[in-house]
Amino acid sequence: MKHKKIISAVVGAAVAGTIGFGAHANEMVKYEVVDGTIPQSLTGVAGDVANGKKVAINRKKGNCLACHTMPIPEEQFHGLTGPSLEGVAERMNEAELRMRLVDPKVVAYDTMMPSFYRTGQHRVLKDFEGKTILEAQEIEDVIAYLRTLK
């Protein structure tokens, strides 16, 4: 019994680590969902591929590798919770990718993937109350990077 408790404490710590993203208190951009996609750029500024890759890797920002395999061989750890993002640009267009990042629960109700541009999520750390995980431009940068994964 005692042994079991220790294990769940360790698992709890690992999960808290996974959702321990950085946080932003910027004004939120309004966006429109059209048929489970977000067609309009959040910022109107073209995404920066190199920065998008950095945001995706950064454990305090996208932390995408916690759950996804990506074609980034220089990073050792790749998660298996979500599908591989190799070739994702062949499967999803920009509007679909934006929905997946902003608020994936709209299209995959019980997904484990965090909503990167939504406030008021349940199970967030105190630091995240009223804040989004990524800034609007960071979302656009990650989309630009994902669009290169052909």
- Give residues in contact with ligand HEC (CB under 6 A): 18, 56, 62-64, 66-68, 81-83, 85, 88, 91-92, 97, 100-101, 108, 111-114, 116, 142, 146
Cα 36 from chain centre: 17
Q: Which long-range contacts (CB under 8 A, 24 or more apart) does 120-124 make?
A: 123/19, 124/19
User: Minimum distance from CB of 61 to ligand HEC (Å)?
Assistant: 7
Query: Minimum distance from CB of 7 to ligand HEC (Å)?
Result: 20
Find the shortest distance in angstroms from Cβ 37 to ligand HEC: 12
User: Where do we find the tokens 């079991």?
Assistant: 4
Nearer to ligand HEC, 26 or 81 (CB): 81
Asked if 140 contacts 62 with a C-beta cutoff of 8 angstroms, the reply is no
The residues facing 132 across adjacent strands are 24
C-beta of 28 vs 59, nearer to ligand HEC? 59
Question: Between residues 3 and 122, which has the closer beta carbon with respect to ligand HEC?
Answer: 122
Q: How far is the CB of 101 from ligand HEC (least distance, A)?
A: 6
18 vs 40, beta carbon nearer ligand HEC: 18
Closest separation in Å from C-beta 67 to ligand HEC = 3
For every residue of 36-105, DSSP letters joined together read: TB--S-SSSS---HHHHHHHHH-TTTT-GGGT---S-TTS-----SS---TTHHHH--HHHHHHHHH-GG
